[in-house]
Structure 1
Amino acid sequence: MTLSRQLLRMIGLLLGLMLVACWLIYLQNSRSEMQQQLGNHAQDTATALSLTLTPYTSPLDVAAITATITALHDRGYFSQIALFDNDNRLIAGKQTPLEQQNGAPQWFKQLYPLQAPTQKMELSDGWRVMGRVEVTADVTQAYNRLWLAGWQFMLATLIILLVAVIAARLLVKRILKPLQQLQKQAAQISQRSFKPMQAMSGTQEIDSLVDSFNQMSDALKELFSGLEEKAEHLQLQAFQDDETGLGNRRGFIAELQHLTQSEQASIGCIGLLKLNIEALHQKQGYSAVTQLWRGLVQRIEQEKLAANQSFRLHDDEVAILFPQCDRQRAERSMQGLLEFLSEQESELADEGLGHAGLCYFRPGDSQDQLLSELDLAQQQARQQGAHNLFFNQGNRELPTILLNTQRRQQLIDAIIKEQRFEFRWQGVKQLVRDNHLYKEWLPTFADLKGQALPTATILALARQTDQLPALERGIVTEALAFAKQQPGGDFSVNLDPLTLQDRDFSLWLIDRCRKDPTLAKRLILEFDERRLTPSYNSISNIISQLALLGVRFAIDHFGAATASFALLTSMKPNYLKLDGRYSHQLALHIDNQFFIQTLLQLCRGLQCTLVALEIEDKEDLALLRQLGVEHGQGYLLGKPAPLASATMLS
């Protein structure tokens, strides 16, 4: 029961008891007053009647006496009027029959009894007593008056009680309104919202409580802000170059491993820009080198290369990653950087400011092999002259279907229509008890000949051909159908934010979740942070609608992009899956350990579950447990395995 109801009940009970007591006292006092009035009235009537009847007693006029008594009796105030002579013989009189004495209920008469007083008065002619008059009051009308007065007082009492309860409710509501706001503010604080409250109750103690709560909210806000700044600093320190803002070599190795060795591995290109920094420094000084780097970073931003694609490997090397096998885009971007170098005024006219090499990468490639091919490409470019680009295709052939635009379209059409995909699952587990938190369902694709194709590449092709919503709708449809056949257990499906922006898809998904609320509460949608960061504002409303239906959300590969903490505090996901680069060789990277500990504190404040990804080493697993990480995913905990039904058919 709420506090307001308890207070209202207590106030209503006290007011009710007080008014009932007043009602009882009022009835008792009214009864006493009426009893006295009955006696006085009977006495006054007996006196007046004796004076009136005296002339009719000598000589005795019985008719006149009877007429006078009858007239007086018929007024209804007396139950009996009688005239007796000196020998106590009745001369004349009249009495009300018992059956006419009605009015108030019998229980009321028993509860508040009234005695019918009889008053006597002698008749005399001055010297002689002629007889006596006896007048007995009628209590019927007195009971009626007392009964009516009681009901009127009760009605007034009930009205007063109702008005008092309404007034008390308004007063209690006004007083308790800050407490309700405190409750809402506490819930908002758990969701990382720190809006101050206004103290408007008019009660000093409540207003003081609100002020104290606002002070606590401000302190928590500063604490969380400090944790965010610390986590962002640790993240940048680990994988970002301090001087240029590009990724560092460690970030490049981690991202390359993700693109070639993880479940999201894809086909793409790597570019290496080799700068003639040493010669520029010798001839034009350090300021020229600084200016060159500043301009180069601006040109990289103009080429719309994300922070997780551009890396400063050494003082004279910049690596660029181009996922999803877009050779033409890679060549255009690298040529743009070389054009920038050629436009700079320098004293290195003959040898130039740099050159560039490109090569392919595909799932399963080793880093040593790729770096060797990339180095060979930049050496070939150097031999061709200043500001040249060389593409080293190597000895590996790419599927021709990925290089032809028309065949790309045909491939995606076939995958959608024929549902040429299968599901595998990989568990997200508790690191201590080895129980599943939920299972992630991973789609795999094949070309027209049945040859396996990288998942990330197929999704990229679908995105390029504007078929991604249709493809992912088919994937989600089959996932929901299979989950319905397997009751129990939560499952997750990866979704591109671009798909959720599609109106038809979002309306369809909301409708499916509304029709099957049990299945919706088992569903977890995962979004890759690098895709979600620029798109969140456009899909936040849809995410809120799905959350109301019970759908939960996870941010995948958190920490792979740079603007992640603003996204974390805005979206407030149920699960936060930490990018694998923070879990690898954890014992060698103290900064990563500090970052994970700080992130754990933020997740606890947001009521969000932190999941460490790509756990593949027992030492890393043991250290994650020591740091307080309770959930993880990776080959060490369980490799992806086929679902019970290999091919998902509708």
Structure 2
Amino acid sequence: MRETRPFGQALLLSGFIMLLCSILLPWWASYHKLDQQAEFVASHLARIVASQQDTLPLTGIAELSTERPLASQHPAWWFGQPAANQQQTIDNMPVFYRLDSQMATRQWLRTSLPLSLSILVLFAVLYWRWHRREQALNRYLHSLLTGPEKATPGRQHPLAQGIINLHQSYSSQLEQLQQQLSTAQDQSYQDSLTKLGNRFAFNRDLKVILDDENQLATATLMIVRADALPEINTALGFQTGDQYLQDIVKLVRKTIQSELGAHAYRISGTEIAVLTKGQCEPLAQRLGTLLSQELHHYQHVHELSCAAYIGFTQILPGQSAEQVLIRADLALAQAEQEAPNSWSMVLKQNDDENMGENQWRQRLQSMLSTNHILLQVQPVQVYKPAMLGYNEIYTRFPNDKGGIYQAGTVFAMLQRLGMSMLFEQKIIEMILQHIESKPLSGQRWAINLTPASLQQRSFLIWLERILTHNRDITSKLVFELDEQVLQHQLVAGKRLLDIIRRCGARFAISRFGHGYGSFRLLKEVKPDYIKLDGQLVRQLKQDSTNQQFVRMIVDLAQRLGCYVIAEGVETQEQKQLLESMHIDGVQGYLIAKPSDFDSFTGLMT
């Protein structure tokens, strides 16, 4: 619907148009008369020139000359060209003249001025009367806005009636709005998808715990990161992603249902937080183990690479919310470095771990650009003459104070900041350069791969390309991957294994021997090496069942053509017992401690 102009504006516009007409119409009449005068003069110019000069005013010419152009004077510019100097040629003689425009000008002014003045007065009066009425109406409407009881009986302006109706319905609407506000306030603390508390509710409840006057009160924060959500949203759509997130929430609720006072919140797109009273260590052990089992089952049923990761930290009164959340993030990042669906716990921070993300990013980028990464080697003592030497390469990260960052913390922050692939590539490139510069022959070099490498297709493409271009060195490499990582990401692990073997390198399963599922993995993967978990080695002498289990592993692995190496050998008794089991090699502090790759010359016997 077209919006109409206010009456006052329409009145002013009408007055302006009328005033313009009172000026232009008389001008047009005078201009037309002057134009007729110009036509008459042009047609009778020869006769006028032949007549006496004193007859010029009678012919409508103000000035005429046959000798030279007229002096430059200001004609009646409001009539334009008809009132300007003119020129014609009569019998090859130039004639210069200018029309007399005074009569036309007087005619225009005599008509236009009185008419314009009358219109101005008329519309000024009309506008003044309208303005007074508008002011009176505005005062009346303003009084109605402040109090409907001031309405004048019988004076029912449409807008006034609308104001009165508005006041009459205001009380009922106000009550409804208050009810809606109360409902909206409750909803503002609730996540619409999961019906959990949202981040605002989480911040509110966390502040209450941190501000508790009882300094001995303790609470635990658990954060569950639904790691597969972005992948599901991309591959299967957002509706499937929403269902996945609701399923994770159900598992979290099932896990914490026995914890009195536990509250769950959705604090970001992929993160579910739980606040509960109690000491962190027993709660983390109980809840982490239970939820991890549920997540493993969910992962298997829905064929995911990972369902979620879990992080725990302690909350004490007097701490800042930022410190608590940094620790929880660090715990999550450490869990992401372990097997899928793992949980981790961080109770306190050192100075390095207390850095914010921006500080970590700057330091890690500095390490990357300056190659400020230390490589160390720990050799394996081998027992079979046909078996080449085996040397495991470790990565250390020096800090600015002359010490070493904790490797787990660094890899956790790399995963958190999305820099894992860059560092993994840099480390492998450095290792290949060191191996190329080493004159040692008959040796193999083991490189540990992080779980993140299995999830990066671009990394696998890069790895195949660099191994193909360095086949002489590739034949000396052994890539190690943790057994639990392979158990839960077997398809991705086999894809990596195909690349490694196709390029001529070897493959090892580290931390092997977590249960009878290890035998199934050994059969499916058929690695070149398996490295017994250090926990098995430490308990070997005291536990006869462990000894029988290790003998079974050694026997089956050697039948499949796989070398068996025991990690974490620290005592002579462990070494002798393993030798009696016909182990292929031993590794640990008893054999050799890690040393710098630059100065490494082989195992000293």
Scaled by the length of structure 2, the TM-score of the pair is 0.42
More relative contact order, 1 or 2 (CA 8 Å, 6+ apart): 1
